[in-house]
Amino acid sequence: MTSEELMRRAVARAEENVRSGSGGPFAALVARNGVILGEGANEVTATNDPTAHAEIVAIRAACRTLGSFRLAGCEIYTTCEPCPMCLGAVYWARLDRLYFAADRADAEHAGFDDGFIYRELAAPPNARSLPMLRLLPEPARAVLELWRLTPEKVPY
């Protein structure tokens, strides 16, 4: 399938997600060389999972297909510019490229917090609306050091 066909498919799925009452107006898919490896729509309210955004669902599905936690060589198509959670997931999944349709301003206009969360992450921690408090850094650092010095670890 071409890039435009893949995006049209995602948009149709997003529309179906709204019409069926299954969740938010977002869908995504992961493809390699035009072949779909995983797809998903927003499932937050249907599954009581605030992390079940379309991109996360699609990435998890593609990883199941490949039996891998890395999607290098693949592309993600999403009907909206990813929120910080989903864009972070795209980086962790090592996707090669991202296609998006609507953007964060469109999402904000429809009532979503994407813009707010981008602004929060860009702010210094002590200027965020979320209180972030530090506790016991030393023992946690020791665990990170244990990892760094563990030769048989699986890096990701």
Q: Which of residues 75-104 bind a second copy (CB under 8 A)?
A: 77, 79-81, 83-103
d(CA 135, CA 48): 30
Catalytic entry in 5, 39, 43, 55 = 55
Q: Any idea what DSSP says for residue 61?
A: H
Rounded to a whole number of angstroms, the minimum distance from the CB of residue 81 to a second copy is 8
148: contact with a second copy by CB under 8 A: yes
Residue closer to a second copy, measured from CB, 32 or 66: 66
Residue 35 dihedral angles phi and psi, to the nearest 5°? -105, 130
Sign of the Cα torsion 61, 81, 118, 25 reads negative
Active site residue 108: no
| Position 131, amino acid | P
For residue 51, give the 3-state DSSP assignment. Answer: coil
- Exactly one of 30, 31, 36, 56 binds a second copy (CB under 8 A); that residue is 56
Count of residues that interact with a second copy, criterion CB under 8 A: 93
Give the per-residue contact string, 104-133, with a second copy (x = CB under 8 A; - = no): --xx-xxx-x--xxx-xxx-------xxxx
Exposure on the CB side of residue 68, measured as CA atoms within 13 A: 12
Active-site annotation, residues: 55
